[in-house]
């Protein structure tokens, strides 16, 4: 086909300028990170605004000796965790306990306490059974979930709070600690010596020691920064996904609107369908590169300003841009083809989910990949072209991630080949579908056009 | 050299044959008009000449060259559907279209055309602020900038008021005088008769008429009487050897049967009413169109 680069560049320039001059683009530059990062920011803010309302907990102690120990352990734990050590702000609710002897009618006692919980005069109540102080016999220590569920636990906690309420875990620790102390006392063990012997040993994490190739001097390893280990790969993957989505998702509706407004036929008299599509794709790419430059430069300067220049992952920036270009070109071509096939903007909205998949699925896999960056599934997913940009970048950005050197190159080749195939298929669909009016092609039509043109 | 040569071109969309074994030539420097009912294949043919569609079979040459999907700065195409970037200002948009076609800056040509079509004061306005007539003039400029040798205009006068239509018509004829070949489609038979050197009628994807207006009319001979008479059409019922009466209001057109004597028609008419005008003539293009594509069509379809 007789495609001329100047036409592609002209269309790209027009679309690029038309986009970046809009208020929506400028506002989007600021709003997009808030939308994408807002959830995490929200969680961070919520962490600083904990529920610190006093919580009253009743303990029914059938052993007669466990309750005071449990309350003491709980109060010690509460005193330790109540305030943030740096800010001195209260970060946990204050727990207040009341010990109750078992009543003659346990059911009625449980009902009365449940009513108090329902009326919010009590947060929860704990029933320590008469066998709680007995250490389980070794033969009976069957920890399988079925065996655990079959036998009633010696301690029961009753609460109206949700399943993930932090109090349950907190209370469980306090009850265990209290009962353990009573057991140790009954065994005659000196607890002050035992707690020292069982104290946790802190382990510092370091990188690797290296040798200066010029001087031969051995450089000590630097201590690992756990924040950087998480924030840098997570942040750069989040940024890539955000820029790709912001850059490519408008393409679908833009092409559909051009088609609906009959703008396309005029342009097709001046440029081939391929030139038109690629012009639009490159325009969107220009927009994405502009956004990325804004965020990368802004982020780098911010980290320098905060004295965290060591966290800037300069080594992955070239990969970031290679993946960004491939991802935007592939997704925009795909969007243009889908947009050309849509009969109306409503049709386009229904198909938008297809464009989100290559970005959203890797987002769902972040935790898994970060836990096992070189596991078989992480490796396979990062070599699957639609997911390569996001997942391979995440693996590469993890300090000491240990990604074999060949994998990013193979991944990039796969992405480029995949992008080429997608652009070719999209151009075929675009050429056939863009002038269709009044008919929405079926998926089988799109596949046929993609294969045969 | 012929500006356009189309040889045995067929184009189908699914099970529909839009253009069926079409062959025609458009002489360079002429105004060539496509007529035909909606859906007859005119737009598809023009899109194929513009390389927007590719023929399934057959060959299309523009100035002797096969186009094979290429876009040429020699061709200016005005689609029937008007498509302009509504949020762009008029002049930058026209410069964009012109540069897209020619690969060079076309500021001077755009300014000249804006002045010629009295749109200079709208040059910096956004397209969405223009009236329909002005938008169509702008689209026309987008088609003729910088200087195509072949203009393909699909319904160029559709929806235009008479003043705007005259302006565009005058511009088209000026371009033709400058050597530009013009292919246009129209539903206005008067426009086709007045503007076109050659007329081609396409019906159900096939060419059914092709030639100059005179040569087309010659095929039908002087079988039409145009008459003006007191009492109008109500005195024309049951005239001998008259196949069809077309009432135009102040005048009526009568189509005579083959071998009919017009003098006999006149004598019968005078017996009925006072005749103020009576002329024997060749059928109008409108009448020919209706004979071919109207409800009573059938026997008239000639290749």
Retrieve residue A222's tokens. Answer: 């630097």
Q: What is the 3-state secondary structure of A114-181?
A: HHHHHCCCCCEEEEECCCCCCCCCHHHCCCCHHHHHHCCCCEEEEECCCCCCHHHHHHHHHHHHHHHH
Across the A:B interface, residue pairs with CB atoms under 8 Å apart total 75
What kind of fold does domain B2-74+148-216 have according to CATH?
Rossmann fold (3.40.50)
Q: How many CA atoms lie within 13 A of A178 on its CB side?
A: 27
pLDDT, one tens digit per residue, over A97-143 is 988 889 989 899 999 999 999 998 898 999 998 888 887 766 555 55
ipTM above 0.90, yes or no: no
Q: Is A188 helix (H, G, I), strand (E, B) or coil?
A: coil
Distant-in-sequence, close-in-space partners of B141: CB < 8 Å, separation ≥ 6: B94, B110, B113, B114, B117, B119
Whether residue A195 is predicted with pLDDT greater than 90 in this model: the reply is no
Using CA atoms, how far apart are residues B57 and B10, in angstroms rounded to an integer? 5
Residue A266 contacts B where some CB pair is shorter than 8 Å: yes
Give the model's pLDDT for residue A417: 92
Q: Which domains does chain A have, with CATH numbers?
A: 5-43+225-452 (no CATH), 55-191 (3.40.190)
Report which of residues B24 and A426 the model is more confident about.
B24
Closest by CA position to B297, among listed B172, B180, B230, B204? B204
CA distances for A355 relative to A277, A359, A426, A451, B295, angstroms: 17, 8, 13, 20, 50
Give the model's pLDDT for residue A108: 93
Other residues' Cβ atoms within 10 Å of the Cβ of residue B73: 16
pLDDT, one tens digit per residue, over A360-419 is 999 998 888 888 888 899 999 999 999 999 999 999 988 766 789 899 999 999 999 998
Q: What number of H helices and E strands is found in chain A?
A: 17, 6
Q: B222-281 has which CATH code?
A: 3.30.70
> Domains of chain B: which residue ranges?
2-74+148-216, 86-145, 222-281
pTM of the model: 0.75
Other residues' Cβ atoms within 10 Å of the Cβ of residue A346: 9
> Does the fold of domain B222-281 match that of domain B2-74+148-216?
no
Q: Which of A6, A266, A269 sits opposite B103 (nearest CB)?
A: A6
Closest by CA position to B92, among listed B129, B122, B130, B116? B122
Residue A262 contacts B where some CB pair is shorter than 8 Å: yes
pLDDT, one tens digit per residue, over A68-91 is 999 998 888 888 877 777 777 777
Whether residue A21 is predicted with pLDDT greater than 50 in this model: the reply is yes
Contact A169, A188 (CB under 8 A): no
Closest by CA position to A255, among listed A272, A277, A274, A271? A277
Residue A264 contacts B where some CB pair is shorter than 8 Å: yes
Using CA atoms, how far apart are residues B98 and B109, in angstroms rounded to an integer? 9
Contact B263, B245 (CB under 8 A): no
Could you report how far apart the first and last alpha carbons of chain B are, in Å?
Answer: 24
CA distances for A63 relative to A66, A77, A110, angstroms: 6, 22, 17
Closest by CA position to B281, among listed B251, B302, B303? B251
Q: How high is the mean pLDDT of chain B?
A: 89
Other residues' Cβ atoms within 10 Å of the Cβ of residue B281: 12
Determine the length of chain A.
453
Retrieve residue B271's tokens. Answer: 């017996």
Q: Which of B82, B88, B97 sits opposite A270 (nearest CB)?
A: B97
Retrieve residue B93's tokens. Answer: 């948009």
Q: Of the given ranges (A45-54, A78-87, B86-95), which has the lowest mean pLDDT? A: A45-54
Using CA atoms, how far apart are residues A93 and A76, in angstroms rounded to an integer? 14
Residue B203 contacts A where some CB pair is shorter than 8 Å: no
Q: Which of A4, A261, A269 sits opposite B79 (nearest CB)?
A: A269
Give the model's pLDDT for residue A3: 59
Check B100 against A18: CB less than 8 A apart: no
Q: Which of B51, B76, B83 sits opposite A265 (nearest CB)?
A: B83
User: Which residue does chain B place closest to A7, by CA atoms?
Assistant: B100
Report DSSP state, residue B6: E
């Amino acid at each position: 086909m007789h495609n001329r680069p100047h036409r592609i560049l002209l269309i790209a320039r027009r679309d690029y300028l038309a986009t970046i001059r809009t208020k929506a683009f400028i506002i989007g530059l600021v709003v997009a990170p808030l939308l994408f990062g807002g959830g995490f920011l929200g969680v961070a803010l919520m962490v600083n605004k904990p529920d610190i309302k006093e919580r009253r907990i009743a303990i029914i102690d059938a052993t007669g000796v466990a309750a005071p120990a449990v309350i003491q352990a709980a109060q010690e734990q509460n005193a330790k965790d109540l305030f943030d050590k740096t800010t001195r702000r209260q970060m946990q609710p204050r727990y207040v306990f009341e010990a109750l002897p078992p009543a003659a009618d346990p059911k009625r006692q449980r009902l009365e306490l449940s009513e108090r919980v329902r009326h919010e005069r009590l947060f929860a109540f704990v029933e320590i059974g008469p066998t709680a102080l007995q250490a389980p016999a070794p033969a009976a220590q069957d920890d399988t979930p079925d065996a655990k569920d079959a036998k009633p636990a010696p301690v029961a906690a009753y609460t109206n709070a949700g399943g993930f309420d932090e109090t349950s875990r907190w209370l469980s620790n306090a009850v265990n600690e209290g009962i353990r102390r009573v057991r140790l006392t009954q065994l005659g063990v000196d607890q002050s010596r035992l707690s020292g012997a069982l104290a946790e040993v802190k382990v510092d994490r370091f990188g690797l020691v290296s040798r200066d190739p010029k001087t031969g001097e051995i450089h000590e390893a630097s201590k690992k920064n756990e924040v950087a280990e998480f924030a840098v790969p997570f942040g750069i993957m989040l940024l890539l996904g955000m820029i790709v989505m912001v850059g490519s998702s408008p393409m679908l509706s833009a092409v559909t609107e051009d088609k609906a407004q009959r703008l396309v036929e005029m342009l097709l008299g001046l440029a081939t369908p391929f030139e038109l599509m690629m012009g639009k794709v490159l325009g969107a790419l220009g927009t994405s590169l502009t956004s990325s430059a804004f965020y990368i430069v802004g982020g780098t300067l911010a980290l320098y300003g905060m004295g965290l220049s060591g966290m800037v992952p300069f080594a992955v920036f070239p990969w970031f841009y290679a993946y960004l270009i491939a991802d935007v070109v592939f997704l925009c071509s795909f969007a243009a083809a889908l947009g050309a096939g849509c009969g109306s903007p409503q049709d386009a909205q229904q198909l938008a989910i297809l464009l989100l998949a290559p970005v959203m699925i890797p987002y769902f896999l972040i935790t898994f990949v970060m836990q096992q960056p070189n596991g078989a599934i992480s490796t396979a997913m990062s070599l699957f072209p639609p997911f390569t940009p996001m997942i391979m970048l995440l693996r590469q950005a993890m300090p000491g991630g240990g990604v074999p050197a060949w994998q990013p190159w193979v991944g990039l080749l796969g992405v480029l080949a995949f992008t080429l195939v997608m652009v070719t298929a999209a151009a075929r669909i675009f050429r056939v579908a863009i002038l269709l009016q009044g008919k929405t092609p079926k998926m089988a039509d799109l596949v046929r056009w993609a294969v045969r043109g | 050299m012929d500006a356009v040569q189309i040889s045995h071109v067929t184009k189908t969309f699914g099970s529909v044959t839009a253009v069926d074994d079409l062959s025609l030539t458009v002489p360079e420097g002429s105004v060539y008009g496509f007529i035909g009912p909606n859906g007859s294949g005119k737009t598809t043919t023009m899109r194929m000449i513009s390389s927007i569609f590719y023929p399934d079979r057959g060959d299309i040459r523009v100035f002797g060259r096969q186009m094979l999907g290429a876009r040429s700065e020699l061709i200016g195409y005005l689609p029937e559907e008007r498509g302009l970037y509504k949020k762009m200002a008029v002049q930058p948009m026209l410069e964009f279209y012109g540069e897209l076609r020619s690969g060079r800056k076309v500021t001077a040509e755009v300014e000249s055309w804006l002045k010629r079509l009295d749109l200079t004061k709208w040059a910096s306005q956004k397209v969405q602020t223009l009236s329909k007539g002005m938008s169509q003039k702008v689209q026309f400029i987008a088609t003729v900038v910088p200087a195509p040798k072949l203009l393909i205009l699909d319904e160029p006068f559709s929806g235009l008021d008479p003043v705007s239509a005259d302006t565009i018509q005058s511009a088209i004829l000026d371009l033709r005088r400058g050597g530009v070949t013009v292919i246009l489609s129209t539903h206005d038979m008067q426009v086709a008769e007045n503007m076109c050197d050659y007329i081609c009628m396409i019906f159900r994807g096939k060419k059914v008429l092709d030639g100059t207006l005179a040569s087309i009319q010659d095929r039908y001979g002087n079988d039409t009487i145009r008459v003006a008479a007191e009492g109008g059409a109500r005195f024309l019922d049951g005239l001998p050897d008259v196949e069809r009466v077309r009432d135009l209001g102040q005048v009526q057109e009568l189509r005579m049967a083959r071998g009919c004597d017009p003098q006999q028609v006149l004598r019968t008419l005078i017996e009925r009413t006072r005749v103020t005008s009576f002329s024997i003539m060749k059928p109008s293009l409108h009448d020919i169109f209706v004979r071919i594509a109207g409800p009573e069509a059938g026997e008239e379809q000639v290749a």
